[in-house]
Amino acid sequence: MPTPFQNAVYAALKRVPRGRVTTYGALAHRVGCRSARAVGQALKRNPYAPKVPCHRVIASDLAPGGFMGRRDPPAMRRKLKLLAKEGVRFQAGQLAEPRRLFAFPG
């Protein structure tokens, strides 16, 4: 059963549209948390994927970050493939089009 914090993270993440990404830090800020790592831990436990699209969260340096609590090649290939299906691409390990970065309103 997700915690209230995890549910807040999942609810905020559902607002990130297909074809866009946000950062762990921006998502943390949105839910009133100072820890991007705490957001990463919540996403690692996401029981609602793909309805809650945790693949749309990247690192603040615009690198892909992790996926499902992992950074191994199979997990990263899966994350990058999901993002590519939405038109989000990475070049040399960075978000190729920074305009795809979603800014939460307010």
Active site residues: 54
Tokens of 35: 């820890």
d(CA 39, CA 61): 16
d(CA 27, CA 13): 7
CB of 27 closer than 8 Å to CB of 54: no
3-state DSSP assignment of residue 85: helix
Reported residue count of the chain is: 106
